[in-house]
Structure 1
Amino acid sequence: MQLLQKPQSEMNLTQEEHRRWVSRFFNSKVKEFDFCLRTVIDCCDQSMRRFRNRQQGDEQTEGKIVYAFSAFTNTVQTLKDAGSTFLDPKIGWRDIERLRHGKFIWLSRNAATHDGNPVISAWSDGRYFVPNDINRFSQAGDLIEIPAPTVDASQFCLEFAQDFSALLSTRLTSLGSVEGPKQNIADIQKFLHSPVVPDFVRELFDQQEFEIERAIAQMKSDPVGDAIKSLRAVETFCEARLNT
């Protein structure tokens, strides 16, 4: 049995406890970042295969890259915000701007999220591109010009992801080990009242409640260490793809 949501008792969380909970969730968001990156790259690979096989794409296949890239850039926003909850100093867009294609990812994310801009909407010889510089207005009413990358979508996403993962990994390493929050037995008991829980699960819990509580007390987690491992795996993937 696994609880996928935050504990119901979290209304009593302290700021420090909240930081621990967010650190626990962080590795999952790193994996989501990895998933979105690989989805973008898979779209690019499929397009190249169609081109080499002289197959035509259609609206569905060509639209996937737009949705995948939008999701990819939004995971960047999430990792920036979530990481800033437990890292000091916080991660700012200025930190991300220094990375390869960092400023483009930052500003194109705004164009996609706030304006609905597809961003990646050009295709040539099997590769996807950003066709032109993007112009948009900021919330303050200022005109912003976002220069389009000169390389294809696969390359700039891999280069950015490699640098961003290295940035996060370095910041997390400097934080040191963080003991993740333990599951509370009271939260499990509350969850058991949910209508989605079968009766036999409640019966098993009643029979083994002492053993479950003892196991919870002995559990240890290293959410920061887990996230670092995932980030380094992303770096390795990016390096391998960029070198092919």
Structure 2
Amino acid sequence: MTEQEIHHKMVVGSFIKNKLEEYEYFLRKIISICNLVNNNFLAGINPVNTSNEDINFTFNAFVNTFQSLKDSLETVTSQKIAWSYFSEVRHSTFFKECRNAITHDGMQIINAYTDGKYYIASNIERIDNKGKFFSLEAPKQDILTLCLEFSTDLMINRRQLWPKHSDSK
């Protein structure tokens, strides 16, 4: 490995903490938006969303931040981190395919609201990068539950996901 490559890995590695903070930032924004909408629904306030908070934009940023974190870890470790590494993380396939639909097709996938919660109303259908039709079943859970379960499992399983690179805490 050249000195320049080592330096690049060090630079990227120095930003991993920032990527984790960015991930947390967007997760907190999702929590805040979902709690606001749910609280307004329960209080009978209409409209429940002030339109200053767009759940789709925030969710899109959240999903793409995870991909960015994954890519940064690949650079730092010189190891391919396949999505299959996340098979133990609830909703990992959903997040992978959502990210593809959002990034490659420009989709806004959160398209339903009921009883104070945001949902995906219908399956996500797209043509993948190999030209094949792909349909992702719409999850039954609301967006907040999906994000929290994915994030919880991700943090619980981080030592199994990146065993050589996780801290011992």
TM over 0.5: yes
The CA deviation at 1:175 is: 2.7
Picking from 119, 134, 138, the partner of 2:128 is: 138
Which one has a larger percent helix, Structure 1 or Structure 2?
1
Residue among 136, 146, 150 paired with 1:160: 150
Aligned to 1:116: 106
How much does 1:146 deviate?
0.8
Once the two structures are aligned, what percentage of the paired residues are identical?
30
Describe how 1:50-65 pairs up with structure 2 within 5 A. 50-57=40-47, 61=51, 64-65=54-55
Count of aligned residue pairs for this structure pair: 168
Cα 1:62–1:97 change in 2 (3 A) is farther
Q: 1:18 aligns with which of 1, 8, 32?
A: 8
Partner-residue secondary structure (3-state), 2:118: strand
Question: Structure 1 residues 78 and 107 mapped into 2: Cα distance closer, same or farther (>3 Å)?
Answer: same
SS at match of 1:85: helix
Where has structure 1 moved over 3 Å in runs of 4 or more? Answer: 166-173
Amino acid at match of 1:131: A
Greater relative contact order: 1 or 2 (C-alpha under 8 angstroms, separation 6 or more)? Answer: 1
| Deviation (angstroms), 1:172 | 5.2
Quick one: which of 91, 105, 108 aligns to 2:95?
105
Amino acid at match of 1:64: D
Structure 1 unpaired stretches of 5+: 1-11, 177-224, 230-244
Deviation of 1:34 after TM superposition, in Å, equals 0.4
Q: Say whether 1:84 aligns with 2:74.
A: yes
1:142 and 1:86 mapped to 2: Cα distance? 32
CA contact (8 A) 2:40 2:48 kept: no
Aligned to 1:36: 26
The C-alpha deviation readout for 1:156-175, integer Å capped at 9, x for no partner, is: 10000112233445555633
* Residue pair 1:97, 1:106 contacting (<8 A) in 2 also: no
| Aligned 8 A contact 2:9 2:76 in 1 | yes
CA offsets 1:179-209 (integer angstroms, 9 cap, x no match)? xxxxxxxxxxxxxxxxxxxxxxxxxxxxxxx
Q: Which amino acid aligns with 1:137?
A: I
Of structures 1 and 2, the larger Rg is shown by 1
The RMSD of aligned alpha carbons is 2.3
User: Which residue does 2:137 correspond to in 1?
Assistant: 147
